[in-house]
Chains A and B, each alone.
Chain A
Amino acid sequence: MKKIFKIFKILLTVLLAAYSVIVIGFLFFSDKEDRYDFASHSQGSYLSQSMFEVLKFQNPQNDEIYFEQSVPFNKRGDYEKGFELLNKAVEYNPRVHLGYRGYMKLRFLRDFKGAIIDFDKLDKLTPNVIDTPWGEDIDFLRGEAYFGLGEYEKAIKHFDQSIENQGENWAEIQSYVYLGICETKLQNFDKAIVSYNRAINQSKYVCEAHLGLAKVYNEIGEIEKAKEHIIKAEEYFQYKRNDPYNEFLNEIYKSDILTLKSNLGV
């Protein structure tokens, strides 16, 4: 009995030691790619952050680790910590991360000037390349940043460039909507109508363009056309542009449609 107990004790010790070695081995010594993937997929957990800390200790100049570690902080509104990490990623690999930082400054911080500085720096670093920060055309994003600053002429220049970059039928449909809004702000109503119609020619479901057209037609006194488009804006409202993280600068709301509908007596 004593011998069995001793064997059991040794077996248990070996098992517990093996368990400890496996866990520590995974945390500190397993393949770096595997640990990076694990930490990325468990984004936001303390364990993920601890693994990134270990990886940074072992690879102090790996930009991807800093970038990935920054993401949950910025999503949760801890921009001091998130951008401290993101700035490191940019320092170690500006070509890869400047665009994303600009995108974050634009969409998460509404730091329009900071975003433009990052996009311009990236553009200079990559001559003859049309950059696509976080998957969006760089001139579309620059246009959005100038729009945020209220510099509509510069915004128009970049939205036009973005359409040229991507081609008329492949361009981001919201480029045309932004062009319409900018032209409206500048009182160029004819140009605004053309821009909104370019969006609708791509897809009739662009409710932002219908709302924009309804506003312009109302402004220039073509009330029947305004009514026609406000009804379409409401009909296609379910397709509006939105994002789970942030409000877009040109985001429309049901209240915008209902207010104009009421003013038009629809």
Chain B
Amino acid sequence: MISFLIALSITAWVYYQTTHRIGELEPNDRIDDNDFQLCNEDKIAEYYGMNTDYIGGKKAIKSKILNKLQFLDFKESGLLTYRFVVNCEGEIGRFRLKATNTDLQKIEVDSKNILEIENTLSELKNWNPAKNKAGNTYDSYYVLNFKIENKKIIDIF
């Protein structure tokens, strides 16, 4: 019985460890848009593996939203790194932010600024979802950095 329980525990642990990856974004009803749906919650690719991108690339993102965000002031220089999901329909959601200063230490960001950036990001509608050679589309993660210098966003990449 003991050997069975040990073997079962190890199997469950290995299964959990092999089926989960760092950077996974779990849904959170409190902060996520409930209308945003994934095609397959269990299979979310990484942006770099399946060419997830915005039509016109990062340049198009920057030209669409950088000016709109210039009214925001930030306390510290550093990076705001958003990780979010581009679903198989080319819609985005499940935004998660990691904010770091120039020494890459975690910093707090005014919640109003976070909301403004997320609302502006939501206006981006021209996403190319992850796609395989056969043309099938998939959900995937995407990473977008906002560089802060002298209290302002100076670059998006």
Contact = CB atoms under 8 A, between A and B. Distances in A.
Q: Is the interface of B mostly helix, strand, loop or mixed?
A: mixed
B143 interface: yes
B104 A80 contact: yes
Which of B17, B82, B105 has the most chain A CB atoms inside 10 A of its CB?
Answer: B17
Interface string A105-138: 0000111001000000000000000000000000
A239 interface: no
A255 to B, nearest CB: 6
A79 B79 contact: yes
Contacts of A254: 56
Contacts, number: 108
Which of B20, B21, B48 has the most chain A CB atoms inside 10 A of its CB?
Answer: B21
B60 interface: yes
Contact of A255 (B16, B59, B105): B59
Contact of B22 (A72, A114, A247): A72
B16 A110 contact: no
Interface stretch (A42-50, A91-99, A230-238): A42-50
A79 B147 CA distance: 13
Q: Is the interface of A mostly helix, strand, loop or mixed?
A: helix
Given A50-B17, A255-B59, A16 B51 contact: no
Interface residues of A, number: 38
A23 B18 contact: no
A246 interface: yes
B157 A79 contact: no
Given A46-B17, A77-B81, A253 B56 contact: yes
A39 to B, nearest CB: 11
A47 B19 CA distance: 9
B83 A76 contact: yes
Contact of B46 (A76, A84, A109): A76
B141 to A, nearest CB: 7
A19 interface: yes
B23 interface: yes
Interface of A: 12-13, 16-17, 19-20, 23-24, 42, 44-47, 49-50, 72-73, 75-80, 83-84, 109-111, 114, 244-247, 251, 253-256
State the 5 A-B residue pairs at the shortest beta-carbon distance, nearest first: A76-B23, A47-B17, A77-B143, A244-B48, A16-B7
Interface of B: 3-4, 6-7, 10, 14, 16-18, 20-23, 46-49, 51, 56-60, 79, 81-83, 98, 100, 102, 104-106, 141, 143, 145, 147, 155, 157
